[in-house]
Structure 1
Amino acid sequence: MTINRRDLLNGVVLGGVAAAAPVDALAARRPTGSAPVPVPAPAPGWRRGFDGQRVCDLDDGRFLNPLLAGDHPDPAILKDGADYYMTFSSFDSYPGLTIWHSRDLVNWQPRGPALTRNIGSVWAVSLEKHAGRYFLYIPVKASPNSIFVIWADHIDGPWSDPVDLGLHAHIDPCHAVGEDGSRWLFLSGGDRIRLAPDGLSTVGAVEHVYDPWRYPDDWDVEGFSPEGPKIVAHGGWFYMITAVGGTAGPPTGHMVIVARSRSIHGPWVNDPGNPVVRTVSTDEKWWSRGHASLVEAPDGSWWSVYHGFENGYWTLGRQALLDPIRWTADGWFRTTGGDLSAPIAKPRGGTAVPHGQPLSDDFATLKLGARWNFFRPTPTERDRVRVEGRALVLRAAGTAPSDSSPLLLTAGDQAYRFDCDIEIAPGGTAGLILFYDDKLYCGLGFDERRFVTHQYGIERGRPANPHGRRMRIRITNTRHIVAIHTSGDDGRSWQRFDRGMEVSGYHHNVRGGFLMLRPGLYSAGAGEARFRDFRFTAL
C-alpha cells in the first residue's frame, strides 16, 4: 500500500474507502418530524488512521460522521482566529477537559488537559476567549454541586486553580457577552446570572429569562430537562440554542431548539421551526442527537457541532457530530446534513492536522490527560504512576478495579483488541479491563497463583494461573462480544481464557452516569505492577 503525503498529514495509515456517488447534503434534509428520507447513495467505510481507528475525513472533499468517535459529549467549541479548540464533558476522568485543536473543523488532535485537580464529575462546560484570556466554566456533580471557572493566557496553559462561583442549583453554563459589553453565564432551565468584568465571580442573583419551547406530549422522550444553552451572535441577533428531551433514554428524546433576541437581555422568541435537530426514528444512524453549538468555518460557512449515540452502540457513549447549516431569509438557521448517515462535503480552507492519536503506547513518556485518564482519582493519585525503562509503573491501590482508580482510554471503534505485557510484585494483582464505572466492568486480572475474572462489576471465578507473576493479556471486543487470551511467551502463542462475555448492556441507560465502556488497566493489592508494550488495534 502506498501512503501519500496527505495521508501522513491526516494520520492515516490503513485502507481507503469504498466508492460512493457524491451526496448533496441539502437533498438529504427532511422537515422536522417527518419520516426519514432515503439516502441517495450508500455511505462508504471510514478511512483508517492511527492503530486502524476510523477517521471522518474521506480524503475526497467529504467527511463521514462521527467527527470524533467514542465518548466526546457536550462539545464546547471556540473559534480563535484560524484555530479551533474544542473540549467535552470529562465526568470522573482526570486529568480532564482535554483540549482538541483543528484548523479545518474536520481533523482534530488532542493538545492536553486543562483540569488536573478532582473537583467532582465534570459536566457540560463553556470554553471562551475574552479580552485575550481563555476561560472554562465548569459545572460539577459533587457535594455540593457547583460551577467553577479556570483561566489561562494560553490555550495550552498553565490553567489556574478552579474558582468556585457558588452556583449550586444549575448545570451547563454558557459564557456570553452582551451588546453593552456585559458578561453573563446562561444556565440550565432558561436562567442566567451576571459575571464581574474579570469573569471570575458573579454579580447579583440568578434570574429567569427564557421559557423553552415544549415538544408535543406524545413524543417519546426522557424528560423536559432544558439544558446546555449556547449563545451565538450573528446578523444582529443573539441566538440561544438549547437541548431538551433528556440526553439519553429513548433514542428520539434528545433534541435541539432555538430562540433569538435582538438584545442579550431579551425578550427571547422561539423558532417556529423547532426542533431544528431531532432523531425521529430508531432506524436512523444516530440516536439522541442534541446539545448543539454553532461555529463559522474557514470558508465562511456555518456548522453545528453536537453529540449523539451510534445506533446500537450506547457503549461508545455520545460521539461528536458535525452538521452543516444554512441561514434562512428570515434569519433563522436550518441544519442540512439529514440524519448524518451519508458523507457530507467538507468546509473549504484551513489546514488539516493529523486526526486523532495512537492508543498503542510504548511508555517512553507518560501521556496522562491526552491519552490515559484515572477514574475518580484521589488528590494523590498522580503519585502512583511513572514511566521507567519503557514500562508504565503503577503502584497498587485497593483490591479490584472498583476501588483502584484504573487508567483508561477512549476507544471509538465498534470492534478492537488490546494487549499488554504485565508483571506484578509479590502480593499484587493487575490486569486489563473494559470499564464503564466502579460498579460495571469486565476483564481479567491475576495474582501469583490465580486468575481473577471480572464480570458484571464483580470478581468471579479464580482458576489457576500457569504463568506466575508475568504474562501478556489480550482482550478483544468484537461488537460487544468479548474474548480474552493469555500468553506466557510474549505473544508468540495464545491460550483462550475460558470465559466469554457480552457487554452491550454496559452503558448509561442501564447504569446511569453518562459514560462509555473504556479499555483500561489496573493495579491492586500490594507493590507495583509494570505494564509494557501496550498495543491497540481497531478491527
Structure 2
Amino acid sequence: MVYFIIKKLKLKSALIVVGILFSVLMLTNCKNESGTNGKDEEATEQSTYSNPILGGDYPDPSIVRVGSDYYMTHSSFNYYPGLIVWHSTDLVNWERISHALTKNVGSVWAPDLVFVNDKYYIYFPAGGTNWVVYADTPNGPWSEPINLNLSGYIDPGHLVDEAGNRYLYLSHGYVVKLTDDGLATAEEPVQNYEGWQFPKEWSTECFCLESPKSTVQDGYYYLTTAEGGTAGPATAHMVVSARAKSPYGPFENSPYNPIVHTENRGERWWNQGHGTLVDDFNGKWWIMYHGYEKHFQTLGRQTLMLPIEWTEDGWFKVPDDIKASDDIELPKLKISEASHGLSDDFDNEELNLQWQFYKDNDLDRVSFMEGKLLFQAKGKSFADSSPILVNSGDRKYEVQVEFTVLDDVEFGLCLYYNEVANMHISASKERFSVFNRQRRKINEPNMLGNHGYLRILNDENEVSFYFSSDAKNWSRVERSIEASGFNHNVFGEFLSLRAGLFAFGEGQVQFDNFIYKSLD
C-alpha cells in the first residue's frame, strides 16, 4: 500500500502519508501494550516493582488510603522528630511530607495511622504507655501527644465498628473501647484473642502476639497480627490472620496462616512479619510489612509489599506463586513523582525531613547561613554528641560532606547504631581520626587546614574512610571496619546503622553539600 502511494504522489506528499500511517501504527501498539482500566493512570515503561518499597530501617508500616492517596508511617524509636508521614499515589514511590511527633516521649514503636471523621490519627506506644496525635491533614500541623494511660500494652491498632464506635486492638490479644473522639479510653481492656499456635518445631524467638491491625470486610472484623518475635532466627517473625463478627470475638484463625513467613535461611528476606492490609483505588489488595535482608541486617527492617487475593471462603492470602524476592506486577495506579533522597545542599534554610536527631530534638543546634548548615557542638565526646542522621537504605553507598572549621570542636561523618555501636571519621584543626565503638584506630595530621571534605564508603558492610581538599582527590585513612554485626541481634534496640553528622566541644562547625550516593 505504501509503495502504491509513493508511485502516484509527489515525493513530499508521499512522505507525509507514510508519516501518518507510521504514527497510527505506533499509537495502536502503545494502546495494546499499556491497556486501560478506566481509572486515572499514566502509562509507564516499568511494569514491575521489586522489594523493598522503602529501603532502610522503616519497620512496622501502617498505611491508610484516602481516595486515590496513600499515607504511611513507621516506628521511629529514639529518632526525633519522629513518626515520619509518607505520601504516595502508586504504593511504590513515596515522599516524606511531615513529622507527626516533635516532643520526646520515649522510644516510639509500631504506630497505627488512620483516617476517621475527616481527621488523621496516629496511635503509638512509647515510654511504657500509649499515645495519640491527630491532624486535619497528613501534612500537619499535628497535635501534641495525648496520653491514653494504657500501660502494659504495645502496638495499638484502631478499629471502627459498623455502628461508628471506636476501639483499639492491643498486644497480647486485648481490645479497649475508645471515646467517640478517639482521644481517651471509655472502658477497661478485655482479652478477645489468643492467637494462632504455630508448630512448636518452628525456629522462633517467642510467641509474642502483637501488632494487631484491623480490616472490616463483608461483615467480618479481620484481625491481622504478628507472632514469633521480630528478630532472632531468620524464620521467627510471621503475619497471621483471624476474623470475627464482633470486635470482641470470638475469633477463628485463618486456614491460610501464616499469611507471610520466612520458611528457611536460604531466602533473601528474613523475619518477615507485622503486616497491614490496604486496598488500592482499583479495588486490588496489598499487604505492607517488614523484613530483614539476608546478610544486611545493618539496614534494619525494610518495608516490603505483596499482593493479596481474597478466597471464595472469605479469607485473604498472598498468591501461591509470588515471593517477596520476585519482580511483581505494579499496581495500575497514577505514578507518583515522589522522591525520598537523602542528600542535602542545605539551601532550604531549615533541616529537611530526612534528618533526625538521636534521642534529642534540639533544633536550636541548627542554623543556616548562605546555604550552609551551622551545627552547634554538643557534649564532650562523640558518645554524648547526639548526631543528626539519615536512614541509610543501600547495601553499598557512600556519604560525603564539605566542612569549614569555625571553632574548637571535633566533628565529622559517622555510621551510627547507638551510643555503643558506631564508627566515625572525626576532624579537628589538628588531626583526622577513625574510631570504632569509641576506640581510636588511627590518627593522621590535618594538612588541609580549616576547609576540606570527608567521605565514608560502605561497601556491603566493609567500611572505609577518606578526606580531601577538593572532593576529587581522596586520601584513604589506613583502617577499615567490618560492620555486619551492627544489628539488633548483637546490640538490641531494633535499630539500624545510619549515616550522619556530629560535632562535640565548644562552638560550631559549618557543613555544606551532604551527598548520599547509592552504589548498587
Normalising by structure 1, report the TM-score: 0.86
Aligned AA (1:516): S
Within-5 A mapping of 1:61-80: 61-80=47-66
Within-5 A mapping of 1:41-440: 59-140=45-126, 142=127, 145-336=128-319, 338-348=322-332, 350-366=333-349, 368=351, 370-377=353-360, 381-440=362-421
* Distance of 2:53 and 2:316 partners within structure 1: 21
Q: Is the partner of 1:121 in helix, strand or coil?
A: coil
Aligned in 2, Cα 1:271/1:366: closer, same or farther, shift over 3 Å? farther
Q: What is residue 524 of structure 1 aligned with on the other side?
A: 504
* Distance of 1:493 and 1:411 partners within structure 2: 25
Q: What is residue 491 of structure 1 aligned with on the other side?
A: 471
Q: Is the partner of 1:315 in helix, strand or coil?
A: helix
* Distance of 1:289 and 1:117 partners within structure 2: 31
Structure with more of its chain in helix, by fraction: 2
User: What does the per-residue CA deviation read over 1:72-96, in whole Å, with 9 as the maximum and x for residues that have no partner?
Assistant: 1000000111110001111111111
Structure 1 residue 531: deviation in Å?
Answer: 0.5
State the identity as a percent. 40
Q: Where does structure 2 lack aligned partners over 5 or more consecutive residues? A: 1-42
Q: Is the partner of 2:364 in helix, strand or coil?
A: helix
Aligned AA (1:517): L
Structure 1 residue 460: deviation in Å?
Answer: 4.5
* Distance of 1:59 and 1:159 partners within structure 2: 38
Aligned in 2, Cα 1:361/1:369: closer, same or farther, shift over 3 Å? closer
Q: What is residue 515 of structure 1 aligned with on the other side?
A: 495
* Distance of 2:183 and 2:298 partners within structure 1: 37
Q: What is residue 435 of structure 2 aligned with on the other side?
A: 454
Quick check: 2:398–2:518 contact (8 Å CA) kept in 1? yes
Structure 1 residue 59: deviation in Å?
Answer: 4.2
Aligned AA (2:324): L
RMSD: 1.5
Quick check: 1:96–1:369 contact (8 Å CA) kept in 2? no
Q: Is the partner of 2:489 in helix, strand or coil?
A: helix
Q: What is residue 32 of structure 1 aligned with on the other side?
A: none
Aligned length: 476
* Distance of 2:382 and 2:95 partners within structure 1: 29
Higher mean displacement: 464-473 or 508-517? 464-473
Aligned AA (2:322): G
Higher mean displacement: 462-471 or 388-397? 462-471
Aligned in 2, Cα 1:218/1:285: closer, same or farther, shift over 3 Å? same
Q: Is the partner of 2:231 in helix, strand or coil?
A: coil
Structure 1 residue 138: deviation in Å?
Answer: 1.5
Aligned AA (1:408): L
Aligned AA (2:98): G
Structure 1 residue 467: deviation in Å?
Answer: 2.4
Structure 1 residue 367: deviation in Å?
Answer: 5.3
Normalising by structure 2, report the TM-score: 0.89
* Distance of 1:100 and 1:209 partners within structure 2: 32
Structure 1 residue 357: deviation in Å?
Answer: 2.1
Q: Is the partner of 1:189 in helix, strand or coil?
A: helix
* Distance of 2:61 and 2:142 partners within structure 1: 19
Quick check: 2:399–2:515 contact (8 Å CA) kept in 1? yes
Larger Rg: 2
Aligned AA (1:86): M
